[in-house]
């Protein structure tokens, strides 16, 4: 990839395109990357992040994280803070899979204890957690009850026996964004989502059994605070979101915004995928309330999946989940818009943060994270490919420049279509099993799409976030078992 000639190297990890790069830019665009990673960014990143810099009310910079690649509207890895009074809200800055996020769960088991049962565990997880396009869950609720789910999120799960009280404490925003209003959601969205609670879905969503090997502990003190206290400790990480419900919410409001953006509010954008409305407009507030419903559906979805994981491990090891130490480390969202308080031009103020394929990474001492993590900073969960491993990181005090945002994954380098042309899913499964990773999938093509070769090097991405002062490495987690849609 040819890097734009106008780009300026601000530091070893910050690259800037000035407002002179493109007509209409209100702020510069900044890409967080090492020299190696900036050279692998696709052209869409530079085009899209500078389009974002043209949005009304944007503050400081338009950002893209080290895992950045082309997306819908914003680049994947895009971050933008808006002035709530003068700025806009854009579904293209949040994504179709609203609150696609990560959850990490501990066990007190070692790999030696799990290894003899690995195939049984993965097969049982594959059976108990529905995967693939259009899959439906075991939670049976009416469409009216589903409206309660999307307004209450994890709180609904606690009421119905799918959560422990501490699960909510270990979930971003307690597992519920306040202000969700199901009356702002279309009937079509309700129809698409009401039977999908507790499902993994397809694409890059997965549930993975992982091992924290001693040589992969980067910060022993923080690792202990996060619950990693046993050599070769086994954990479970999973990644999914709001399924068809969130997709429909985004689709509905993109169309609504296209109808009012220019005609009613006089807003012009360089890309229709960035259709938006003033945040405090009736349409903007309706979308914000509907988006929160999708956020809450995703929290409930991951909570029910955790319930199923606990059931599986309990059945295989003939112990209660509590005896197995199956407590949450954290659940963190990406693909959201949130009102947060940050320091801008030396003053604390409320801003609207769009994070699209980007993770919140609050530093030590900040409000909004569990008390037990106040000294360490917020746990940050970054998923790599199913072949290479994932990371548990911690937020840093130095993350203020990006409004305490960091990467969310390793980032694609190859399109799904290209991956399926180059890689055979059945052969990939056999190769992975030979390397000690047992995987079950709903689709051979879907498995090929998620091959490690289709992604950036997760170690490079995570090292860049640490060098940039956004999030620091705590534990690298190695995959041994995986289910995919």
Per-residue pLDDT of the chain (485 residues; tens, 9 = 90+): 579 999 999 999 999 999 999 999 999 999 999 999 999 899 999 999 999 999 999 999 999 999 999 999 999 999 999 999 999 999 999 999 999 999 999 999 999 999 999 999 999 999 999 998 888 888 989 999 999 999 999 999 999 999 999 999 999 999 999 999 999 999 999 999 999 999 998 878 889 999 999 999 999 999 999 999 999 999 999 999 999 999 999 999 999 999 999 999 999 999 999 999 999 999 999 999 999 999 999 999 999 999 999 999 999 999 999 999 999 999 999 999 999 999 999 999 999 999 999 999 999 999 999 999 999 999 999 998 777 899 999 999 999 999 999 999 876 666 767 877 787 878 878 888 888 889 998 878 877 777 767 677 899 999 999 999 999 999 999 999 999 87
What DSSP string runs through 6-18? T-EE-SSSEEEE-
CA distance 156 to 328: 18
SS3 73: coil
Strands across the sheet containing 14-17: 8-9, 14-17, 29-32, 58-69, 76-82, 347-356, 336-344
Residue 51 labeled ligand binder: no
Q: Is the distance from CB of 95 to CB of 338 less than 8 angstroms?
A: no
Was 261 annotated as part of a binding site?
no
How do the domains of the chain map onto residue ranges?
Answer: 100-413+455-484
Has 296 been labeled as part of a binding site? no
Output the pTM of the full model.
0.96
C-alpha 15/C-alpha 13 separation (Å) is: 7
Q: Is residue 209 classed exposed, middle or buried when 0-12, 13-18 and 19+ CB atoms within 10 A define those classes?
A: buried
Instruction: Name the residue with tokens 């690995």.
Output: 118
Q: Is 469 annotated as a binding residue?
A: no
CA dist 252 and 75 (Å) reads 21
Interaxial angle between packed helices 118-128 and 282-317, expressed in degrees from 0 to 180 and rounded to the nearest 10: 140
| CATH architecture, domain defined by 100-413+455-484 | Alpha-Beta Complex (3.90)
Ligand-binding site membership of 410 (annotated):
yes
Residue 460 annotated as part of some ligand binding site: no
Look at residue 386 in the predicted model and tell me its pLDDT: 74
409 among annotated binding-site residues: yes
Residue 63's beta-bridge partner residues? 30, 79
Neighbours of 161 (CB within 10 A): 7
* 160 in a labelled binding site: no
As a whole number of angstroms, the distance between CA 374 and CA 372 comes to 6
- From residue 38, alpha-carbon distances to 179, 393, 461 in Å are 39, 22, 11
Say how far apart CA 269 and CA 167 lie, in whole Å. Answer: 41
What are the catalytic residues?
A: 408
The end-to-end CA distance of the chain, in Å, is 31
The two structure tokens encoding residue 475: 């534990």
DSSP code at position 432: H
Cα–Cα distance for residue pair 402/62, rounded to 1 Å: 9
């Amino acid at each position: 990839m040819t890097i734009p000639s106008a780009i300026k190297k601000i530091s070893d990890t910050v690259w800037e395109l000035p407002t002179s790069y493109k007509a209409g830019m209100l702020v510069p665009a900044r890409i967080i990357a090492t020299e190696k990673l900036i050279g692998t960014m696709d052209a869409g990143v530079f085009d899209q992040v500078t389009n974002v810099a043209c949005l009304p009310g944007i503050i400081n910079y338009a950002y893209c994280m080290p895992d950045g690649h082309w997306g819908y509207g914003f680049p994947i890895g895009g971050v933008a803070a808006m002035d709530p009074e003068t700025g806009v809200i854009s579904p293209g800055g949040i994504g179709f899979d609203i609150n696609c996020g990560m959850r990490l769960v501990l066990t007190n088991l070692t790999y030696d204890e799990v290894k003899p049962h690995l195939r049984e565990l993965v097969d049982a997880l594959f059976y108990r957690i529905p995967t693939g396009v259009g899959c439906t869950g075991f939670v049976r609720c009416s469409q009216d009850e589903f409206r309660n789910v999307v307004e209450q999120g994890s709180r609904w799960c606690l009421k119905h026996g799918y959560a422990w009280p501490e699960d909510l404490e270990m979930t971003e925003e307690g597992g519920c964004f306040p202000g969700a209003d199901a009356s702002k959601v279309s009937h079509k969205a309700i129809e698409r989502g009401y039977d999908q609670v507790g499902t993994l879905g397809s694409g890059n969503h997965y549930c993975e059994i992982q091992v924290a090997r001693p040589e992969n502990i980067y910060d022993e003190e923080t690792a202990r605070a996060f619950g990693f206290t046993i050599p070769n400790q086994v954990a479970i990480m999973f990644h999914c979101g709001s399924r068809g419900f969130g997709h429909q919410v985004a689709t509905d409001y993109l169309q609504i915004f296209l109808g009012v953006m220019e005609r009613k509010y006089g807003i012009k954008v360089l890309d229709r995928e960035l259709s938006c409305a003033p945040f405090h407009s009736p349409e903007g507030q309706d979308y914000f309330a509907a988006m929160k419903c999708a956020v809450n559906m995703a929290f409930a979805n991951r909570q029910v999946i955790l319930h199923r994981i606990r059931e599986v491990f309990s059945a295989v090891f003939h112990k209660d989940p509590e005896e197995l130490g199956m407590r949450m480390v954290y659940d963190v969202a990406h693909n959201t818009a949130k009102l947060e308080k940050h320091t801008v031009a030396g003053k604390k103020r409320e801003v609207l943060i769009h994070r699209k394929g980007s993770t919140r990474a609050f530093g030590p001492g900040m409000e909004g994270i569990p008390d037990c993590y106040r000294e360490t900073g917020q746990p940050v969960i970054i998923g790599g490919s199913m072949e290479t491993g994932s990371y548990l990181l911690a937020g840093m005090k130095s993350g203020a420049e990006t409004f305490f945002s960091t990467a969310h994954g390793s980032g694609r380098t190859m399109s799904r279509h290209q991956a399926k042309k180059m890689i055979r899913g059945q052969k990939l499964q056999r190769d992975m099993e030979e390397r000690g990773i047992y995987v079950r999938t709903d689709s051979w093509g879907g498995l090929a799409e998620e091959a490690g070769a289709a992604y950036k090097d997760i170690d490079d991405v995570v090292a860049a976030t640490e060098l940039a002062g956004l999030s620091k490495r705590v534990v690298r987690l190695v995959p041994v078992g995986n289910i995919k849609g």
